[in-house]
Each structure stands twice: as C-alpha cells, then as structure tokens.
C-alpha cells in the first residue's frame, strides 16, 4: 500500500467501480434499511430526523405565540402551556440543535472532508442514530398522551422532584436526556477517531479544514459536557423513582447542586451548538469570497479556546441565587473572556470578506445573515455577563431574545447556510436561487420582528415561562408584533420545504463541485458513491482542491475484497495501515431497541434494569460475534516481524 | 375591572401615581445605578454594532466576483493578510480593554448594592409560596411581628433588609423599578439590601418558573414616607376587629365552620393555620390572589366560589357554599380592614 500517481485506464476504472460498489453498497429494501451503516446513509437520516423535530418544536413555538398574542387568553390551559414550552425547549436543544449541528453535519461531512471512505465505528454510528430517534419519539409521544414534561427544559429541583411533580412527566424528560446524550457520546467517539485516524495522507492537523476543526472541538466538548447532564438527570430520576435524596434538603441533599451540575453541561452545550456553525460559516465564506479565511491558526485557536472557556462560565446562569460576590465575579470575568475568541473570528471573517471576490448566492446570504444576527446576540450577551445587569433581566424575555439571537443566529442561520451549500453534494441537485432568496428574506425579517421586541418586553418586566399576562401590563402590542414575525418565519420555512421538494423532484444536476469550493468532499461525484472516493485522495495544502497539484497522487494498493480504509497517523497523517470496516448489520438497531426498552422500562420499575440487561447483553454479543471468513482473511494478511 | 384595583391603590396613596413596570423607570437606589450602566452599555454596544455591520456591508458592496459563474479562487496576497492581522490584533486589544472597564463598572455597582447597611434597618422576611407571597415584618417582640401577603409596604429613603426564602419550590423576588432579582431557594435564606427613593406603587412578580400559576404570582410594592409606613405598620399589628354588622358576623361563623379555617390565619380569632395567606387585614389590600384580581366584592365572590377558573391549578379549592353563606363570608372579608 502506498500513494502513487494516477495511472489507470478507463476500463480498469470501470471494473474497480463495480467491485467497490458491490463491496460498499447497503442492503436494499425496507428491511435492509435497518442494516445500513454507511455514514452518508446515517447522516441523511440525522438531517431529516433533526429537521422534522425542528418543525415540530417550531409548531409548538407558534402555539405559544398564539396564546401570548392576547392578554389573559384562555386558549391554552396553563397545564398544557407548561408542557408546550418545556417540550419546545427540550426538543430544540436535545433533538434539533445538537443533532443537527453536530451529529448530522459531522456524520455526513467529516469523513468526506478528510477523504475517508466511511466514518470510524460505523455500526456505533447507526446505533447512535436509532437511540436518538427513540428518545425523540419518546418525548413527542409523551406530549401527545398529555404526559409531556412540564417543568422547563432545565427541570430545576425541587419543582421537578418527587414532591412537586408526581406522575411520569419528569421521568420522561430525564430518560429522554439519557437517550440523546448516549447518542451524542457515540457520535463524539466516531468523529474524534475519524479525524485522528482516517485523514487523507498529507492532511496533517495543521491542514485540517476549519469546519472539521470545529466539529472535532465540539466532539471533545461533548465527551466532557454530556456526562454531566446524564449525571444530573440520572440523580433526579433516582430521587424520583427509588427514593434517593441527592436534592432533598431534609435528608442532607441540596437543590443548588442540581443547578451546578446541569449548567456545567448547559453552558458548554450552547457552544456545542454554536461552534459547528462557525465551522460552516468559515467554509461558506471561503467558498464565496473565493479565498481562504485569513488567519487559519487564529481561527483554530479561537475555536479551541472557546471550547475550554465554555466550561468555566456556568455560574452566570445562577447569579440570582445569592452566591458570594467574589466567586460570581470570577464567572462574570470568564464570560467576558469568551468574547475575545469570538471577536477574533468575527474580525477575521470580515477581513476575509473585505479581501475576497464576493459571490452572493443563497448560502452566502445566510452566512451574512448570521454575521448580523449573531452579532446582536453576542452584544446582548456582553450585557448579561455583568452581574448587576443580569440581575435585572435574568429570567425575563430579554434573555429569551438574547438566546434566540445566539442560538438561531449561531445554529439555524449557519444550518441553512450549510444546507444550501452542501445540498448539491448530498442530493446531486441544485436548489432554486429565487426561492432560496425568498426563504432567506422572509425568515430574516420574520426572525427579527419576532425576537427584537422581546428585548423591550423583558425590560418592561415580562418574565419567562408565563402562560399569560395582565392586560394593563402593556405587553400585548409587542407580543402581537412578535406573533406577526413568527408568521413570516413560518412562510420562510414553507419556502424552504417547497424548494427542497422541487429540487428533489427535478432540480438542475449539480455536478461534482458547483461552487468551485476547496474541500475534499467536492472532489467526488454528487451524491457521493457508496465508497465515497474511487481513489482516496491525498492533500497538498489547507485548501485541498485549490492547493492540489495537477497530478495530485491518490491512494491505491487496497485488496478490494472487503470494506477497507487507510488509517493514518494522528498528527501528520502519514499512511499507517489498511483497516477493515464492518459491513451492514441489524445488530445496532436491535441493540438500540434493547437499550431503549431498558431505559423506558426503568421509569416504571427498577427491575427493568436487571431484566432489561439480558436483551442488551444478547444484542451486544450478536453485534460483536466474530465472523470466520473475516478472521481468516485478516490473519492471512498479518505481517510478522520477528524482533531482531 | 383591573382599573378599579389601581383606583383603590391611588386612593390609598392619595396622589402618588402607579409606575409603569420597567427596568428603565427606576425608583430605587439599586435600579437607578443599574439603569445608568444599562444606558451606557446600550450606547457603546450600539456603536460597536453599527461599525461592525458597516464593515460587513462595505465589504459586500466593495468587490463582487460576478454572480453567474463561480470565479477562480484568488491568489493570496500574504503581505496584505499579515497587515490586516495586525489591525485585528489592535482591535482585539481594544475589545479586552473595553471589557475590563465594563467588568470594573459592574463590580462597582455590585459593591454598592452589597455594601449597604444600616444600624437598625427595616427587616422584612420574603417567603415565596405556590403561588403567593408572604411578607413578615421583623420585630424584637414576637407578638409584634406583622404578617401580610401580596402587598409589600416599604418606607422610602431608608435601607431595607430583605431576608429571602421559600416554602416550597424555587421562586424569584423581583420588582424591576426598585432592584435586581433574588432567587428564593429552600432551605436557604439569603439577604439583600434595597432602598426605594420614590413614593409610588410598583408591580413585582415571581421570575423563576414555579409551576402552573407562575404567571399569576405577582405582588405590589407600596412605597410611602416613613410616617405613613409606620402608621400602616401599627394598623397591621392590631388583631382583627370583631365584626359589627350582623351579616359579617354570620360570615365569620361560615369561615370558622368551612374549610377556610384549615389554611388561613385571622389573628384575634381561632383561625391560625399558615398554609394560605394571612387574612387578618385582607380588606386593606388592593388585590387578591397574588396581584391577580382587584379586591372588590364581586371578585371576592368569584375567587372564593371558583378560584380554579381564575388561577387553574392553584392550591385553594373552589368552595361549595350557598349563595347566602358566600355573601356573608365576603361581607366578613370586607370587614377585615
């Protein structure tokens, strides 16, 4: 195995294509669907599923705007409203934002961007998808059955504890967390391994695309942040189900402990949602400015340091709890420090625009929209870092406005930038520019009309999570303005759905690289074949396709009798060895069903953990059962180098 | 209907207006300082916003690469990139300096607030309940402690010590015109200082989600000069008077025989439970049900008969009483001045 020049004729290429196609194709049919393990297949599912949850949670948001468009409205009861806002927040955070920005984008694009034929641990990838899907169905199924969680997406104790929230609602919230975070941890492991071991030869770490850097940093953050929220929700469910007293002050527990553990996850989570967006923006700005982003090293260090700093700011969610002033001022300063790396990225992006040859297409429009919207969210964030200002606007609509500017600005705008950018690669067809522009402007104006007035509402005293407000408060007019903006946003989303449908049915063929972009993913056909690259590429510079030599070598020397990938060294990406990837399997699906059954059963009886462990074990034994042919093939290829 | 409540309050204050609830309409020492910080920050950050957006729009209008065909990737002018990076370094240093100044300004505001003190302050315990407020005015004599609900009378111009705690879930005490908020978390009791500088009526409300009726957990602050405050406090110390009217006396008997007595206190009678709000001087308050309904006869009737339709899910059961019983009960409530 080595990297050689491209000397292969048409006929040989055709034969190789057929051979690789047979090796890598996924099983056909409905039943076969459950055995898919290729990252493009699972990645598309993550995209579609996360987008559906985005639409469902968006409908809940529209219902809330409807309820709040009149004071003392009796349209929605407080009981239902509590379920709606809790499910909206929970679904947007756990079922849309993280799955879309991290799981979907990284599962589909990271292997392609580093020139790999599949993601590392593809079966774990499939498992991660199913377990996430089941968690989402659990949450929305519960809402339909009127057992939707109703204590807020943060579920503070003691409100969510056994005394004040009897019934199954909070249990469902807590177990849904376990489902989605298990999934996120799985994807984090896959992404880190893919980035460190499956990069194309020549793609040393200092040539890693900025988008991949973002997803890599996020994967590490997931590994440290998600266990914290699984811990807090598990301690909560133990208090609720088997009578432990972690948060019960009467038995020596502490309700503030919950807030610390939850926000130790909760704040990094915001950056887990936002950092993939910065990676997408860097990719889109580079492609449509026709130049690389200025200051590669500064952008990478900004992303990495944002990742670190995000773990040191959680107490700014707790300024009102009455903690000691000196301790709080540390977190206030740390929060202000996060502004520095973000400002560096912002300035470098603007310098890139300033020196580029701009082409304004729909993806670029979304990226520019991001700069505008996220800037507002960032600046109000500076205000919130100040303890006295925060004490006034904390838990009001000012904060609601702030984090929608940050999260919609930092995730939804980049998501649409990324979707318009990579849609041609994923589907092989172009989206309409005209409908795309309608989509952008409707959504952009609708968004600002909805959320800008909320700043004013917060300053005028409207607190969060209220199902109604008194008529003399004077809040009705601004709420109606927000409701009108929400209507525009709905039309924007409808325009996108029409656009997607038309493109799917008969959009213009995209070709390999419609934007003339530089990433390795644009070096293969659209959509990519099941084996991604006929010849895995090598890399000559930071902008892989732009910096490629006319006779850029490719990787050859595979045996082409199993799903082989080239493993490379972690830092320099020098070729190391050929590794075999597992093929299609039903076991990840069955394992997800078994784990899901255990988790859901545990809400009803602790014994479900004991009896549920049996099918889980059986599924894992099936999953890892060795295959004789594979073992013999590998053994025959082992090279023994006797010591001296 | 609600205007009646305001009318009552206005009458009570004889000339002092109710204030629009707002962070930027400060009437307290803390809120006033935060408001100064707010306007400065709004000005500075808006300037930054305009400059940054100006640069983005400038870049967009400056050089276009056409829109039909994607042009070739540019050849990079490294020297210019390095010059730009140096400009950005200077900008970042400016950002850091600005943030440092902001941090110091915030710390000064916080220090002022936390540094307040007084030898013999007015001390009030604020206790959050689902979904109403209990206010206890401390006194060295246990029998002199005044307990009231949902209407907080404060003297103007002196530091006030608030001791904040909760009886159940987490609530948050917030009057935007007077000071920042403080979470009420059982089992902790935290203290904060505040000072009201203007007379008037200010709406406050719970700011931490606390369950179904979080939306209807408001209260009113009545800020008045010390002499009027003292007069009010004296009046509140007295136990409930024996009702004079026959109907009100009947109402008292209804109260003592019905489930009312299992939750409420009326000092001077046998009713002494602390589950619900203290009703000793309920008629002196302008609102009932935690700032939800003006304290009128018809609202009292509606609240007692069917509190669940006014605040669905609240902890007071709707009372199944004969109309005559209800009328006398309300007459009794209205006699508790």
Q: Which CATH number is B152's domain given?
A: 2.60.40.420
Contact between A376 and B49 using a beta-carbon 8 Å cutoff: yes
A637 vs A2, A16, A24, A577, A633, CA distance in Å? 16, 21, 21, 11, 7
Burial, B3: exposed, middle or buried (Cβ in 10 Å; 0-12, 13-18, 19+)? exposed
Position B205 confidence tier, pLDDT thresholds 50, 70, 90: very high
**Which range marks the domain in which residue A110 is found?**
31-635
pLDDT tens track for A134-189: 999 999 999 999 999 999 999 999 999 999 999 999 999 999 999 999 999 999 99
Q: Is residue B232 part of a domain?
A: no
B103 and B29 in a common domain: yes
Is residue B190 a part of any domain in this protein? yes
Q: Is residue B234 part of a domain?
A: no
Task: Output helix, strand, coil percentages for chain A, rounded to the nearest 5.
Answer: 70, 5, 30
Measured from the Cβ of residue A2, the count of other Cβ atoms closer than 10 Å reads 9
The B residues from 254 to 283 touching A (CB cutoff 8 Å) are none
Residue B266 and residue B156 share a domain: no
Q: Per the structure block, which two tokens stand in for A431?
A: 């989206």
The yes-or-no verdict on residue A233 having pLDDT over 50 is: yes
Distance CA A413, CA A377 (A): 13
With beta carbons under 8 A apart, name residues in chain B contacting A285. Answer: none
Q: What percent of chain A has pLDDT over 70?
A: 98
Mean predicted confidence (pLDDT) in A185-195 = 96
Whether B164 and B268 map to the same domain: the answer is no
The answer to whether the peptide bond before residue A158 is cis (omega within 30 degrees of 0) is: yes
Contacts of B198 (CB under 8 A, 6+ apart): B19, B27, B156, B223
For chain A, say whether B213 makes contact (Cβ under 8 Å).
yes
- Residue A10, in any domain of the structure: no
**Does the beta-carbon distance from A372 to B53 stay under 8 Å?**
yes
pLDDT for residue A156 = 94
Q: B23 touching A, CB under 8 A?
A: yes
Structure tokens at A506: 């008969």
Confirm whether A13 is domain-assigned.
no
Q: pLDDT class for A634, splitting at 50, 70, 90?
A: confident
Q: Taking a C-beta distance cutoff of 8 angstroms, is the pair B196, B154 a contact? A: yes
Q: What is the pLDDT of residue A370?
A: 96
Cβ contact A357–B63 (<8 Å): yes
**DSSP secondary structure string, A1-37?**
-EEE-----HHHHHHHHHHHHHHHPPPPHHHHHTT--
> How far is CA B196 from each of CA A201, B27, B156, B160, B201, rounded to the nearest angstrom?
70, 6, 5, 9, 11
pLDDT computed for residue A180 by the predictor: 93
B119 confidence band (pLDDT: 50, 70, 90): confident
Could you identify the residue written with the tokens 């995730």?
A411
CB contact under 8 A, B23 and A158: no
Same domain, B206 and B292: no
Of A276, A326, A344, A282, which is closest to residue A104 (Cα–Cα)? A276
Residue B81 within a domain: no
* Residue A547 belongs to a domain: yes
Q: How far is CA B175 from the centre of its chain?
A: 4
- Rounded (5°) CA angle B253-B254-B257: 85
Q: Is B129 in CB contact (< 8 Å) with chain A?
A: no
B257 and B312 co-located in one domain: yes
pLDDT of residue A550: 86
A512 interface with B at CB cutoff 8 Å:
no
> Are the Cβ atoms of A386 and B31 closer than 8 angstroms?
no
> How many CB atoms neighbour CB A99 within 10 A?
30
Mean pLDDT of chain B: 88
Q: Does the CB of A379 have a partner CB in chain B at under 8 Å?
A: yes
Closest CA in chain B for residue A474: B20
The pLDDT value recorded for residue B14 is: 40
Minimal CA separation from A301 to chain B, in Å: 14
Mean pLDDT of B194-217: 94
Task: Band the pLDDT of A87: cuts 50, 70, 90.
Answer: very high
Q: How many CB pairs under 8 A join A and B?
A: 266
Task: For residue B311, give its domain range.
Answer: 246-335
| One domain for residues B279 and B160 | no
Task: Answer yes or no: is pLDDT of A49 > 80.
Answer: yes
| Pairwise CA distance, residues A234 & A182, whole Å | 13
Q: Are residues B162 and B41 in the same domain?
A: yes
* pLDDT digit string, tens, across residues A322-340: 888 888 889 999 999 999 9
Q: Write a three-state SS string for A547-590.
A: HCCCCCCEEECCCCCCCEEEEECCCCCCEEEEEECCCCCCHHHH
d(CA A42, CA A122): 9
Q: Which residue has the tokens 């784990």?
A: A595
Domain count, chain B: 2
Q: Which of B201, B208, B224, B226 is nearest to B294 (CA)?
A: B201
The answer to whether A290 contacts B206, with C-beta atoms less than 8 Å apart, is no
Q: Which of residues 164-193 of B touch A (CB under 8 A)?
A: 164, 168-170, 172, 174, 176, 179-183, 185-188, 190, 192
The answer to whether residue B23 scores a pLDDT higher than 80 is yes
Residue B184 within a domain:
yes
- DSSP 8-state assignment for residue B207: -
The DSSP code for B315 is S
Q: Name the token pair of B193.
A: 């200082």
Within a domain: B79: no
CB A450 within 8 A of CB A486: yes
For residue A117, the model assigns a pLDDT of 94
**What sections of B14-66 are H helices per DSSP?**
29-62
Calculate what percentage of chain B has a pLDDT beyond 70: 93
Query: Would you say residue A642 lies in a domain?
Result: no
* Burial (CB count within 10 angstroms: exposed 0-12, middle 13-18, buried 19+), residue B1: exposed
User: How is residue B260 annotated by DSSP?
Assistant: G
Within-domain flag for B313: yes
Q: Which of A196-210, A533-547, B28-42, B107-121 has the lowest mean pLDDT?
A: B107-121
Q: Identify the residue among A85, A313, A461, A522 best suited for mutation to test binding to B, counting B beta carbons within 10 A and taking the highest.
A: A461
Token couple for B123? 């001390």
Q: How far apart are CA B299 and CA B282, in angstroms?
A: 13
Residue B295 inside a domain? The answer is yes
Judged against a pLDDT cut of 70, whether residue B176 lies above it is answered with yes
pLDDT for position A40: 95
Please tell me the pTM assigned to this model: 0.94
Supply A411's token pair: 């995730």
Same domain, B107 and B204: yes
pLDDT at position B137 over 50? yes
Among B191, B226, B261, where does a domain finish?
B226
Q: Count the neighbouring beta carbons within 10 Å of the beta carbon of residue A238.
A: 16
- Rounded to the nearest integer, the mean pLDDT of chain A is 93
Stretch A438-464: mean pLDDT: 96
Our count of domains for chain A comes to 1
Question: For residue A435, is pLDDT > 70?
Answer: yes
What is the nearest CA distance from B235 to chain A, expressed in angstroms? Answer: 30
| 282-301 of B, contacting A, C-beta below 8 A | 291-292
In the prediction, which pLDDT does B303 show?
Answer: 94
* B151 and B219 assigned to the same domain: yes
Token duo for residue B197: 């500088």
Pair (B154, B269) in one structural domain:
no
Residue A86 near residue A156, CB atoms below 8 Å:
no
Q: Where are the beta strands (DSSP E) in A439-570?
A: 554-556, 564-568
Report whether pLDDT(B29) > 70. yes
Q: What average pLDDT does range A63-91 have in this prediction?
A: 94
Q: Do A460 and B164 touch (CB under 8 A)?
A: no
What is this model's ipTM? 0.92
Contact by Cβ (8 Å): B296, B4: yes
- Domain contains A4: no
SS3 of A365-405? HHHHHHHHHHHHHHHHHHHHHCHHHHHHHCCEHHHHHHHHH
Question: Is the per-residue pLDDT at A249 higher than 80?
Answer: yes
B170 in the same domain as B30: yes
Please list every residue in chain A whose beta carbon sits closer than 8 Å to the beta carbon of residue B50.
none
* Beta carbons within 10 angstroms of residue A550's beta carbon: 4
Same-domain check for residues B43 and B184: yes
* Residue-level pLDDT at B68: 67
Do the Cβ atoms of A537 and A555 come closer than 8 Å? Answer: yes
The answer to whether the CB atoms of A388 and B65 lie below 8 A apart is no
Q: Say if residue A45's pLDDT is above 90.
A: yes
Is some CB atom of chain A closer than 8 A to the CB atom of B32?
Answer: no
CATH at residue A153: 1.20.210.10
Rounded alpha-carbon distances, angstroms, from residue A493 to A312, A446, A511, A512, A554:
36, 11, 26, 27, 42
Instruction: Point out the residue among B70, B190, B214 whose CB comes nearest to the CB of A516.
Output: B70
Of B226, B256, B271, which residue is a domain's last?
A: B226
Lowest-pLDDT range of B58-72, B86-100, B145-159: B58-72
Task: Select the residue from A157, A162, A386 to test the B interface by mutation, using most B Cβ atoms within 10 A.
Answer: A386
Q: Measured between alpha carbons, how far is A504 from A499 in angstroms, rounded to an integer?
A: 8
């Amino acid at each position: 195995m080595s990297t050689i020049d491209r000397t292969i004729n048409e006929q040989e290429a055709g034969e190789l294509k057929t051979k690789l196609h047979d090796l890598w194709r996924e099983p056909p049919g409905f039943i076969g669907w459950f055995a898919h393990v290729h990252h493009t297949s699972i990645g598309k599912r993550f995209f579609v599923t996360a987008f559906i949850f985005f639409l469902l949670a968006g409908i809940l948001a529209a219902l809330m705007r409807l309820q709040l468009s009149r004071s003392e409205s009796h349209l929605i009861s407080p009981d239902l409203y509590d379920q709606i806002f809790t499910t909206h927040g929970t679904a947007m955070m756990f079922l849309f934002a993280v799955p879309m920005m991290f799981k979907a984008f990284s599962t589909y694009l990271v292997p392609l961007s580093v020139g790999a034929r599949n993601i590392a641990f593809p079966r774990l990838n499939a498992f991660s998808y199913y377990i996430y899907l089941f968690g989402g169905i659990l949450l929305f199924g519960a809402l339909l059955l009127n057992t939707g969680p109703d204590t807020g997406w943060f579920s503070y104790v003691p409100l969510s504890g056994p005394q004040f929230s009897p019934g199954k609602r909070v249990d469902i919230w807590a177990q849904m967390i376990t489902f989605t975070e298990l999934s996120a941890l799985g994807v984090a492991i896959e992404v880190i391994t893919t980035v460190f071991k499956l990069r194309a030869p020549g793609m040393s770490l200092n040539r890693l695309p900025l988008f991949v850097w973002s997803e890599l940093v996020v994967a590490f953050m997931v590994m440290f942040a998600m266990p914290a929220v699984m811990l807090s929700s598990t301690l909560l469910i133990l208090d609720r189900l088997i009578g432990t007293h972690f948060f019960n002050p009467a038995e020596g527990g502490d309700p503030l402990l919950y807030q610390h553990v939850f926000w130790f996850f909760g704040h990094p989570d915001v950056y887990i949602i936002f950092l993939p967006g910065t990676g997408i923006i860097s990719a889109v700005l580079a492609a449509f400015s026709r130049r690389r982003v200025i200051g590669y090293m500064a952008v990478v260090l900004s992303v990495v340091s944002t990742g670190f700093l995000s773990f040191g700011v959680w107490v700014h969610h707790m300024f009102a709890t009455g903690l000691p002033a000196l301790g709080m001022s540390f977190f206030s300063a740390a929060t202000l420090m996060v502004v520095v790396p973000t400002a560096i990225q912002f300035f470098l992006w603007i310098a890139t625009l300033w020196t580029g040859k701009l082409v304004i297409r729909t993806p670029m429009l979304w990226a520019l929209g991001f700069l505008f919207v996220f800037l507002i969210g960032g600046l109000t964030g500076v205000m919130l870092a100040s303890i006295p200002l925060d004490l006034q606007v904390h838990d009001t609509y000012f904060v609601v406005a702030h984090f929608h500017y940050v999260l919609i600005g930092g995730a939804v705008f980049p998501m649409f930038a990324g979707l318009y950018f990579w849609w041609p690669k994923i589907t092989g067809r172009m989206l309409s520019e005209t409908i795309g522009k309608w989509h952008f402007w409707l959504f952009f104006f609708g968004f600002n009309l909805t959320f800008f007035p909320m700043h004013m509402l917060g300053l005028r005293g409207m607190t969060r999570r209220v199902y109604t407000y008194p008529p003399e408060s004077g809040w009705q007019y601004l709420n109606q303005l927000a409701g009108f903006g929400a209507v525009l946003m709905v039309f924007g989303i409808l325009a996108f759905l029409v656009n997607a449908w038309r493109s799917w049915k008969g959009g213009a063929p995209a070709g390999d690289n419609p934007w003339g972009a530089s990433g390795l993913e644009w070096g293969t056909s659209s959509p990519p074949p099941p084996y991604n690259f006929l010849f895995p590429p090598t890399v000559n510079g930071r902008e892989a396709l732009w910096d490629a030599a006319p006779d850029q070598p490719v990787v050859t020397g595979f045996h082409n009798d199993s799903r082989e990938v080239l493993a490379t060294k972690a830092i320099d990406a020098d070729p190391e060895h050929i590794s075999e990837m597992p093929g299609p399997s039903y076991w990840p699906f069955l394992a997800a069903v078994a784990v899901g059954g255990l988790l859901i059963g545990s809400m009803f009886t602790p014994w479900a953990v004991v009896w549920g462990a049996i099918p889980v074990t059986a599924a894992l034994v099936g999953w890892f059962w060795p295959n004789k042919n594979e073992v013999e093939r590998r053994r025959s290829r082992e090279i023994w180098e006797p010591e001296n | 209907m609600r205007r009646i409540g305001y009318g009552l309050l206005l009458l009570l204050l004889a000339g002092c207006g109710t204030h629009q609830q707002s962070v930027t309409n400060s009437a307290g020492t803390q809120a006033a300082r935060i408001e100064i910080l707010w306007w400065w920050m709004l000005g500075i950050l808006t300037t930054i916003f305009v400059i940054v957006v100006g640069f983005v729009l400038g870049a967009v209008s400056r050089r276009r690469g056409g829109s039909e065909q994607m042009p070739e990737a540019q050849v990079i002018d490294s020297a210019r990139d390095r010059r730009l990076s140096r400009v950005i370094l200077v900008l970042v240093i400016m950002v850091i300096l600005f943030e440092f100044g902001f941090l110091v300004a915030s710390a000064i505001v916080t220090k002022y607030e936390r540094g307040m003190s007084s030898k013999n302050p007015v001390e009030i315990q604020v206790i959050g309940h689902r979904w109403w407020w209990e206010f206890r005015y401390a006194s060295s004599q246990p029998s002199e402690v005044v307990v009231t609900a949902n209407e907080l009378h404060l003297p103007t111009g002196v530091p006030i010590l608030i001791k904040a705690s909760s009886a159940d879930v987490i609530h948050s005490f917030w009057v935007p015109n007077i000071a920042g908020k403080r979470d009420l978390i059982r089992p902790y009791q935290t203290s904060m200082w505040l000072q009201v500088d203007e007379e008037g009526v200010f709406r406050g409300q719970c700011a931490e989600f606390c369950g179904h009726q979080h939306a209807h957990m408001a209260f009113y602050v009545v800020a008045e000069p010390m002499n009027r405050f003292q007069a009010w406090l004296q009046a509140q110390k007295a136990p409930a008077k024996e009702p004079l009217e026959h109907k009100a006396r009947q109402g008292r008997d209804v109260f003592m025989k019905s489930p009312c007595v299992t939750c409420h206190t009326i000092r001077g009678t046998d009713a002494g439970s602390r589950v619900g709000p203290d009703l000793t001087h309920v008629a002196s308050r302008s609102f009932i049900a935690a700032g939800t309904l003006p304290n009128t006869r018809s609202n009292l009737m509606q609240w007692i008969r069917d509190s669940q339709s006014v605040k669905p899910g609240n902890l007071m059961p709707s009372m199944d009483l004969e109309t005559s019983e209800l009328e006398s009960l309300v007459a009794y409530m209205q006699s508790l001045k």
